[in-house]
Structures are given as structure tokens and as C-alpha cells.
Amino acid sequence: MIDFEKFVKYSRPGPRYTSYPTAVEFSEDFSYDEYIKKLTEQNSDKPLSLYFHLPFCRSACYFCGCNVVFTSKEEKKLRYIEYLKKELKILQNYIDTKRSVIQLHFGGGTPTFFSAKQLEEIIKAIRDVFPNWSEDAEVSCEIDPRFLSEEHMKTLAEGGFNRVSFGVQDFNEKVQQAVHRIQSFEVTKQAVELARKYSMQSVNIDLIYGLPYQTLESFKKTLELTHQLDPDRLAVFNYAHVPWLKKTMRKIDETTLPTPDVKLAILKYTIDFFTSNGYKMIGMDHFAKPEDELFQAIKKGELHRNFQGYTTKAGADLIGIGLTSIGEGEDYYAQNFKEMSAYEEAIDAGKLPYHRGVVLNEDDKIRKAVIMELMANFKLDIKRIEKEFGINFKDYFADALQALQEFAEQDLVKIDDKAIEVSPTGTLLIRNIVMPFDAYMKRHGEAKKVFSKTV
């Protein structure tokens, strides 16, 4: 049994580590010219991963932490498509677009808030610029089931999409009302059935725990309904309450949010529920069926983590396209403008809409390798890190290993000369466990206005 009250002390602000260094470290010190140089110097033999941000939503879901533009105006969407095309044309000047594409992801916003015809236009524009696709390319789209027609799904299938991710969050009506997202089980079921009809290889469902009015008992019912939909993968996220960053979150009554011990109980039950129903826990907050490639990857210790979540597609240069998108190269992260006016102004000037980023030094690269490996596979091959970077792990990370002793004493991690391995219980606190390896955390300390709580 887990003593949840004891675990509550670990509820502190901390990153989710979709990158290292995290986006908090991005700055304009990494200049536009330096970014262009990084792009032009990319190895043409390396494959590409493409992320397109389609930012529009009709109305706000109060829990949402994404960069979203709320609109009901059709002309805004049409204008955005034209700017995406212009951005692609400019991009052709700086990278070899004949490189093999192994991953494409549409994120939002609500990508299917665009009409099927508009999505078709976007897909055609992408394939005109990037003609070479790997046979096993992972082509995925985030979908709000409330904005989905059969025409949408047909367009995605014909455009080469083979994965879809449906946002659900919670099926409880009281919770849905509190977060301003009414979505029935029937609507979600119809969306999943469409995905199956059009032979999507992988269907993912997103849930969130830590939302207003959630209890362990209420979330159990959401889990049971979700299981009925038989998804191939699931993502079960810890709600990140950051009202100082997201104004819509201020509409949530904080007194209705579950306490850290309740959230831990929900997470523990969720893990037990899905693992007892044939799923494998993948990384920090994902689950997959045994036949899923994520499951196979974690068995081999080959799972990777990036801004698109967990993936088996490592070794690619990630290019972020569209408003606020983030790209990732071998030694840098780069983010586009967040404001539509600045985004359009850059493109009108014939420039990529790059705004800020960070170049990784050698220490960053070492720490990134350690943090991402632990976040993805819950274990670290110390000898491999020593060989790859030419370091003595024990000396280099003396302070981190000292900080981990507390977790080791509680059997949350096991540390020896060859490996660090996180226990099943320790995975509940994986963000806390990797934080000692983060050189930037000392600068932020317990800053409450930077990160969401880890528990």
C-alpha cells in the first residue's frame, strides 16, 4: 500500500520535461541568423519530423494549456492556411525538403475545427513541399470528437494519416460543466468508430486527472467507459493548473480541485486499472496495448520523448511550422511567434516566423540524455552515458545522486554502478526523481509562477 499522505510532500512546482532545457530557458539570445545557420547545416541524410500547429477553437475549455486562438470567423482560418503555405515556401530556402519524413503531427487548437476541404488543402501543401515519406511514417492528428465528421476522417485517411488522438478528459457531466466542455460518451464513441472504419492504425484517448469535482469514485466510471472504447493507447495527464499563465484557468474554482492525495489515489488506481486490463504503462503518463509499437519500444529501452509525446521515431530533426510551434535539432530548440500579428509580419517580410529558442551546451546535452531516458524508459544505463559523453557519472552527478538517496531509501529508485532504475511506485513521482539532474532548477527554486505541481 502507498502512503499517499507521505507522498503529498513531493507536490512541488516542476517541469514536465517535454524538452531539456525546458521552454522557460528559451530566449531571443538565440538569434534569427543563428537559427537559420542551424537549419542550413542540418544533415540531409537525417529524416524529418514535422509538427503543424492549427491553433483555432470555437470556445475555451478552461483546463487547456495550449496556445489557442478563439474564433468563429471562417476568414481567419482561410488566412492562416495561406500563411502556412508561405511559411513552407520560405522553409524550402533553408532545408532539404526532399529528406525522408518519418513523422507528422497536427496539433491545436482543434485541427478538425478546419473543414475537411481546408484540411485537404493543408495536407496537399505539405506533400507538395515534402514529397518523400517513409513507408512506416507516423502521421497523426489531435481531434476533438465534437468537431468531427465522416468527411474529416475520410480526408485524413486519404491524406496518409494513420493515427488519431481523441480528447476526452472526463465523462462526468459535473466535471465537464466546470471545465466548459460538454462531450457525451456517445459522441466520443461515434468518433472512435469512424477511426476504426477508416483503418486508423492507432487510436489514442486523452484523459486528465486533477480537474474540478473529480473524485476517485467518479474517475473510476470514466475509466470504465474509456475501456469500453478499446483504445490502442491512452494518455492520462495530471492537470497543470497555471492560472497566472492561462487566463481561462481563472474561471476554475480552485476550492473544487482534488487534493494531491486524491490525485495520487486516482493515478494509482488508473495505473492498476489499465495494467490489469492488458495495457502497459509507457513513460510518465501513457498506456499502450502489448501489440503497440510503444510497448515494444519500452521493452527494448528504445522509447523517446519530444514535444509530440512518446515516440519510437528518434534521430529526426523536428521542424515546427505554424503559430507558436517548436522545433528541435541536434543541439537546439526553436519556437515560432505566439502572436498572430508577429507571425504574419515575419512571413510578409520573407522570413521564417522564428521568435526564440536555446542552443544546448555540452552539459545540457548530457543532462538531456539522462532526463529523457528516465522519463521515457524509467531506467538509465549509466555505462552507456559514460561511454557516449566521456564522463565519470558518479563524479559528474555527485549532487544529483546525493539528492536521489531519499528516493532510494524509500525503494522508489534503485541505484548501482551500472544503472538507475525507477520502481513501479517511483513512476508516480518520475518528475521529482529527474529534477535533481536539472541544472536550471536551482535558478528557479520553488518558484510558484513557473511550473505546475508535480503531484
Same domain as 310, residue 414: no
Q: Would you state the pLDDT for residue 454?
A: 66
Among candidate residues 264, 297, 320, the one where a domain is terminated: 320
Q: Is residue 101 part of a domain?
A: yes
Q: Would you state the pLDDT for residue 112?
A: 95
Q: Is 362 exposed, middle or buried (0-12, 13-18, 19+ CB in 10 A)?
A: exposed
Q: Is residue 18 part of a domain?
A: yes
CATH number, position 414: 1.10.10.920
Q: Is residue 263 part of a domain?
A: yes
Residues 278, 297: Cα–Cα separation, whole Å: 17
Distance of CA 92 to the CA centre of its chain: 26
Among candidate residues 270, 301, 320, the one where a domain is terminated: 320
Q: Would you state the pLDDT for residue 30?
A: 98
State the residue range of the domain holding 62: 4-320
Same domain as 214, residue 94: yes
H helices within 326-429, ranges in order? Answer: 340-348, 362-377, 382-389, 393-396, 398-409
Same domain as 22, residue 123: yes
Q: Is residue 100 part of a domain?
A: yes
CA distances for 452 relative to 428, 431, 446, angstroms: 15, 11, 11
pTM of the model: 0.91
Same domain as 375, residue 261: no
Nearest of 227, 252, 287 to residue 176 by alpha carbon: 252
- Pair 82, 158: CB distance under 8 Å: no
Same domain as 381, residue 239: no
Q: What are the counts of helices (DSSP H) followed by strands (DSSP E) for the chain?
A: 17, 19
Q: Is residue 227 part of a domain?
A: yes
Same domain as 194, residue 96: yes
Among candidate residues 292, 320, 348, the one where a domain is terminated: 320
Q: Is residue 347 part of a domain?
A: no
Same domain as 283, residue 398: no
Q: Is residue 345 part of a domain?
A: no
Number of domains in the chain: 2
Same domain as 311, residue 383: no
pLDDT tens, the chain, 455 aa long: 556 666 777 777 778 888 999 989 999 999 999 999 999 999 999 999 999 999 999 889 999 988 899 998 999 999 999 999 999 999 999 999 999 999 999 999 999 999 999 999 999 999 999 999 999 999 999 999 999 999 999 999 999 999 999 999 999 999 999 999 999 999 999 999 999 999 999 999 999 999 999 999 999 999 999 999 999 999 999 998 889 888 999 999 999 999 988 998 898 899 999 999 999 888 778 899 988 888 777 777 677 777 767 777 778 999 999 999 999 999 999 999 999 999 999 999 999 999 999 999 999 999 999 999 998 888 999 999 999 999 999 999 999 999 999 999 989 999 999 999 999 888 888 999 999 999 998 776 555 456 767 66
Same domain as 386, residue 281: no
Residues 128, 139: Cα–Cα separation, whole Å: 16
Same domain as 203, residue 289: yes
Give the helix/strand (H/E) hosting 354. strand 354-359
CATH number, position 118: 3.80.30.20
DSSP assignment of 31-55 equals -HHHHHHHHHTS-TTS-EEEEEEE-
Question: Is 420 in a helix, a strand, or coil?
Answer: strand
Q: Would you state the pLDDT for residue 11?
A: 72
Q: Would you state the pLDDT for residue 445?
A: 59
Q: Is residue 335 part of a domain?
A: no
Percent helix, strand, coil in the chain, to 5, is 45, 20, 35
Residues 329, 314: Cα–Cα separation, whole Å: 11
Is it true that the peptide bond before 243 is cis, omega within 30 degrees of 0? no
Same domain as 275, residue 405: no
- Pair 422, 413: CB distance under 8 Å: yes
Same domain as 280, residue 375: no
